[in-house]
Amino acid sequence: MKVCIVGLGAIGGLFAGWLGTRLPAAAAATLQLSALARGETLAAVRRHGLRLEGAEGSVGVPLQASEDAAALGPQDLVILAVKAPALAAAAPAVAALCGPRTQVLAAMNGVPWWFFERLPGRCQGLVLDSVDAGGVVRALIPAERVIGCVVHLSSAAVAPGQVRHVNGQGLILGRADPGTGGSDGRLQTVAALLSSAGFAVTLSERIQREVWFKLWGNMTMNPISALTGATCDRILDDPLVRNFCSAVMLEAQAIGAAFGIPIEQRPEERHDVTRKLGAFKTSMLQDLQAGRPLEIDALLGAVREIGAHIGIATPNVDALFGLVRLMAATRGLGATGKPVSLAA
């Protein structure tokens, strides 16, 4: 089986590391693992392989890496683990890695480009400019190839080509087409491979539900932590900020219910779960401190755009989106979102 990782950051690096070191001997013998990388990451991997740190110590992971997708050739599975601002640039390379039956596992935060393509309801087929302007990604990576992946683990890219696993091992997988769900044989094959590598894999009949539920929590924690520099415990311990988070989440909850994915949990219940994580530094705060582009559009711009399409006003989402977008723009961190007019 040929597997290529696109995006050797915190999550992509962990996929590469565990697939490269944890598979049983029989599975490892048939796996051809590679990565698409560039710059300092590519140089580091070529020099000493991928470095993987965890509770058991540090290991080197031999890994074929290239900046040329054509040199790696068509794959059976492409694991796409880039941040949302890099998606448009990565999509042509992903397309070049695809043969007739290639599957693309999309392990990304926020609302993905394929979210509404096969989802019944008021937004079926909606292409979000905030996520995929002009439908460019959709054309290059069609939904029928996509396995959605919701990541429930934490890792960190501590240096180019060096990844540290922090905690957790959960992945939720499901077809972008809700009709096939967990019965698809190729999905089962991918799930078995990742389970053999040590991930705790569950399958979802409608992965959009899992995507939206994860977004519902991190659409506030991520940008507010970037704006304030605070860890999640401090955000939730401030009653005014906590109430603002709830107001943002209630708007998103109403939007989800309108397009067919209701969330039964109350914001306060979600806050209590997040608070148990302690002094947690979000991925957006880590990106800000490292000077990397921020995932603003996929987390907030998309929610605002969906609300505008449906006709639900989002004043609190708008306020948070505007503030974090302006902060990112003043620091040159790739805030690309454009204002979206609300429907009358």
Asked whether the predicted pLDDT for residue 154 surpasses 50, the reply is yes
Phi, psi of 193 (to 5 degrees): -60, -50
Of residues 43 and 342, more confidently modeled: 43
Asked if residue 187 and residue 71 are part of one domain, the reply reads: yes
Of residues 2 and 278, more confidently modeled: 2
Asked whether the predicted pLDDT for residue 64 surpasses 50, the reply is yes
Domain with 109 in it = 2-205
CATH number at residue 168: 3.40.50.720
Alpha-carbon torsion angle 290, 40, 55, 147, nearest 10 = 90
Asked if residue 288 and residue 175 are part of one domain, the reply reads: no
What pLDDT score does 342 carry?
29
44-70: average pLDDT: 93
301-322: average pLDDT: 98
Q: Please count the structural domains in the chain.
A: 2
Distance in angstroms (rounded) separating the CA atoms of residues 160 and 104: 24
Asked if residue 261 and residue 323 are part of one domain, the reply reads: yes
Asked whether the predicted pLDDT for residue 315 surpasses 80, the reply is yes
What pLDDT score does 336 carry?
46
Distance in angstroms (rounded) separating the CA atoms of residues 246 and 170: 26
pLDDT in tens, 175-234: 998 655 445 789 999 999 999 999 999 999 999 999 999 999 999 999 999 999 999 999
- DSSP string of 195-253, one letter each residue: HHTT-EEEE-S-HHHHHHHHHHHHHHHHHHHHHH---HHHHHHSHHHHHHHHHHHHHHH
What pLDDT score does 56 carry?
83
Asked if residue 259 and residue 176 are part of one domain, the reply reads: no
| Residue that is last in its domain, among 149, 180, 205 | 205
Of residues 180 and 21, more confidently modeled: 21
What pLDDT score does 55 carry?
86
Asked whether the predicted pLDDT for residue 299 surpasses 90, the reply is yes
Asked if residue 96 and residue 157 are part of one domain, the reply reads: yes
Q: Quick one: what percent of the chain has pLDDT higher than 70?
A: 95
Asked whether the predicted pLDDT for residue 65 surpasses 90, the reply is yes
Spatial contact of 225 and 235, defined as CB atoms under 8 Å apart: yes
For the chain, helix (H) and strand (E) counts, in that order, are 16, 10
| Residue that is last in its domain, among 205, 220, 239 | 205
Asked whether the predicted pLDDT for residue 340 surpasses 70, the reply is no
Give the least confident one: 113-122, 177-186, 304-313, 323-332: 177-186
8-15: average pLDDT: 96
90-105: average pLDDT: 97
Distance in angstroms (rounded) separating the CA atoms of residues 168 and 152: 7
Q: Quick one: what percent of the chain has pLDDT higher than 90?
A: 89
pLDDT band at 343 (very low <50, low <70, confident <90, very high): very low
How far the first Cα of the chain sits from its last, in Å, is 52
What pLDDT score does 181 carry?
44
What pLDDT score does 178 carry?
64
**pTM of this prediction?**
0.93
pLDDT in tens, 104-144: 999 999 999 999 988 888 999 999 999 999 999 999 999 99
Helix (H) or strand (E) holding 28: helix 25-30
Candidate list 2, 83, 214, 281, residue with the active-site label: 214
Cα–Cα distances in angstroms (integers) from residue 308 to residues 173, 193, 229, in the given order: 29, 40, 30
Q: What share of the chain is helix, strand, coil (3-state, %, to 5)?
A: 50, 20, 30
Asked if residue 98 and residue 198 are part of one domain, the reply reads: yes
At position 337, the amino acid (one-letter code) is G
What pLDDT score does 58 carry?
92
148 bridge partner residues: 106, 174
Asked if residue 164 and residue 287 are part of one domain, the reply reads: no
254-263: average pLDDT: 97
Q: Is 338 a residue of the active site?
A: no
Asked if residue 196 and residue 218 are part of one domain, the reply reads: no
Long-range Cβ contact pairs of 18-26 (< 8 A, separation 24 or more): 18/52, 18/197, 18/198, 18/199, 19/193, 19/194, 19/197, 20/50, 20/52, 20/61, 20/62, 20/63, 21/52, 21/59, 21/61, 22/196, 22/197, 22/198, 23/193, 23/196, 23/197, 24/196
